[in-house]
Amino acid sequence: AQKVTQAQTEISVVEKEDVTLDCVYETRDTTYYLFWYKQPPSGELVFLIRRNSFDEQNEISGRYSWNFQKSTSSFNFTITASQVVDSAVYFCALRGAGGTSYGKLTFGQGTILTVHP
């Protein structure tokens, strides 16, 4: 079975602080895909990034960066110089590539990030 754990239920920071959201996953698939989504107060989930299991290259997109470490089954997300608009719930998700896990996303519990001015 697949499992995604986001140990931080809530994080509160002051604007311009850096913040890291942790994500640890479990899967028996040798090929899999990891995603991060942002859920603003409006409710819609917004896709941020995907990572294939065979590509451990880290990625930076503006103030966002992602650290994928297969050895520790982690896919952490860092926001540099946080802004109030970053306040949202962030979900890490895992999609297996075979068998009964095909096409299905397994989500973590989500981390509520609040950035104070």
Partner 1 sequence: DGGITQSPKYLFRKEGQNVTLSCEQNLNHDAMYWYRQDPGQGLRLIYYSQIVNDFQKGDIAEGYSVSREKKESFPLTVTSAQKNPTAFYLCASSTNGQRVRNQPQHFGDGTRLSIL
Nearer to partner 1, 47 or 81 (CB): 47
Supply the minimum distance, in Å, between the C-beta of residue 88 and partner 1. 13
Side-chain-facing half-sphere of 21: CA atoms under 13 Å:
34
Looking at residues 20 to 59 of the shown chain, list those that interact with partner 1 (rule: CB under 8 A).
33, 35, 37, 42-47, 50, 52
Supply the minimum distance, in Å, between the C-beta of residue 84 and partner 1. 22
Kindly state whether residue 77 participates in binding partner 1, applying the rule CB under 8 A.
no
Cα–Cα distances (Å) from 65 to 6, 29, 68, 103, 113, in that order, read 17, 25, 10, 26, 16
